[in-house]
Chain A
Amino acid sequence: MSQYRQIFRDGLWDNNVAMGQMLALCPLLAVTTSATNGLGMGIASLAVLLLTNTIISAVRGVISPQVRIPVLIVLIATVVTLVDMAINAWLHDLYKVLGLFIALIVTNCAIFGRAESFASKQPVPLAAADALAMGLGFTWVLVAVGGMREILGSGTLFANASLLLGSHFAWLETTIIPHYKGILLAILPPGAFMALGFLIAIKRLIDRRLPSDSSHGLVSIQPHG
């Protein structure tokens, strides 16, 4: 099962969507003004990625390579639209919180990237595992960037989390610095670039310290960039 280990290692750290592949920066930079927003976007992206990767892997034998791109695009757009409608109809309270983010998932090139570079060439279980790993990896980076910006910008962490996760999670909402005026820059777009830049710098520092492990079995089918 080292294949799965490799997939999760890639998704969560080595080849992380945002920090390794540098994909999905548009939704990442746009919504991470708070840790809660980051978590909402992360969960929604994870759900869509899991669905698209599984479906595309299941029909990969039918799709011919020459026309794969329009077919993948139309499939992904359909899944996003259906998820949007389903949440609006049946989980309306959640939609009031996540609604804004779901439409933004279409701008997430990581979904298309995984479909094109992984799901369209791998069997269903591997494609689903890859979606889970990439989705979780994206989610933690979103929460980390959102958390950094929220603490610096508003002095709170996970504010309004109960709107997203229900009242059981009200304990997550903490005020880190009381009576804090906030650093405006952290909430504005430049703050997102800086927070992500620091995260990437930290990741590279850690990677340099770690003993280099060059036995990446799946690296050939996971292009960077």
Chain B
Amino acid sequence: MISFDLKPYRDQPLYQALLLGAACAVVSLLLIGGHQSTHQSISDHQTADKLAMLAQVLPASRYNNDPLAETATLSSDVLAAPATLMLARQDGHFSAAALQLAIAGWGGVIHMILAVKPDGELLGVRIISHTETPGLADKIERGKSDWITTFDGKSLLNTSGNAWRVKKDGGEFDQFTGATITPRAVVKGVHQGLILYQQWLSTDSGEKALATQMEDAA
């Protein structure tokens, strides 16, 4: 048995130093190997998840370009990170825009994606990832509840600034039992996304995109 041969050495400081060094070396190699053999697959899954997420808010019938190719970065103090705008085109005509953004929730940053028609009406909103309390605040996920679909069809025009709040704060969106901060953050994020989109429309690239809009797209 190997343990017998090592016993006389195990109390030596040198043995212990070597043991610690060897343990760190072995786990580093294991982690490098693990990362090498999984990172490609993990990033493929993440891209696939992103496209699948995009497909949920943006019907495939609305575009035939690669929305991940034509993007713009929009920043705002309200958001946790600059938002990414992706342009969807149907035969070269501007047909919709998707906006990926992140806002601070209760347990961490909530990443979400929303799609709007060129005129700023929401096609849909979905949560990409979050670290909110499981079972309590995860009703923002489409798989757990249909709360997130209450945003469909909303726009800055048909919903006034004060209505962009949860009901507890006097707005028109429901909060959850035991979780107000999470839906409040999502509502704020969606509202901010629409404001950013409206601001982007008045920039050069926004006006250029609007000029390629189809006559009946709105």
- Which stretch (A3-11, A45-53, A80-88, A132-140) binds chain B? A80-88
Give every chain A residue within 8 A of B42 (Cβ-Cβ).
85, 88-89
Partner of A71, one of B11, B19, B45, B131: B19
Query: In the docked arrangement, what's the CA distance between A187 and B23, Å?
Result: 42
What A residues does B10 contact at CB under 8 A? 64-65
Asked if A225 lies at the interface with its beta carbon under 8 angstroms from chain B, I say no
Q: A57-76, CB under 8 A of B: which get 1 and which 0?
A: 00011111111001100110
- Distance between Cα atoms of A217 and B128 in the complex (Å): 52
Question: CB of B69 within 8 A of chain A?
Answer: no
Contact B27 A64 (CB under 8 A): no
Whether B35 lies near A62 (C-beta < 8 A) is no
Binds B, one of A14-22, A29-37, A109-117, A170-178: A29-37
Given contacts A64-B11, A160-B144, contact A71 B1 (CB under 8 A): no
Q: Does residue B20 face the partner (Cβ distance < 8 Å to A)?
A: yes
Set of chain B residues within 8 Å of A86, measured between Cβ atoms: 34, 38
Interface of chain A, helix or strand or loop or mixed? helix
Distance A69 CA – B39 CA, assembled complex (angstroms): 30
How many residues does chain B have at the interface if contact means C-beta atoms less than 8 Å apart? Answer: 33
Are the C-beta atoms of A60 and B3 separated by less than 8 Å?
yes
* Contact of A187 with B30 at beta-carbon distance under 8 Å, contacts A37-B135, A74-B24, A92-B45 already known: no
Max count, chain B CB within 10 A of own CB: residue among A78, A81, A90? A78
Is B157 an interface residue when CB atoms closer than 8 A count as contact?
no
B136: interface (CB < 8 Å): yes
Say which residue of A70, A85, A100 sits within 8 Å of B134 (CB atoms).
A100
State whether the Cβ of B161 lies closer than 8 Å to any Cβ in chain A. Answer: no
- The yes or no answer to A163 lying at the interface (CB within 8 A) is yes
For residue A150, which residues in chain B have a CB less than 8 angstroms away from its CB? Answer: 135
**1/0 per residue B34-59: CB within 8 Å of A?**
11011101100100000000000000
* B27:A33 contact, CB within 8 angstroms: no
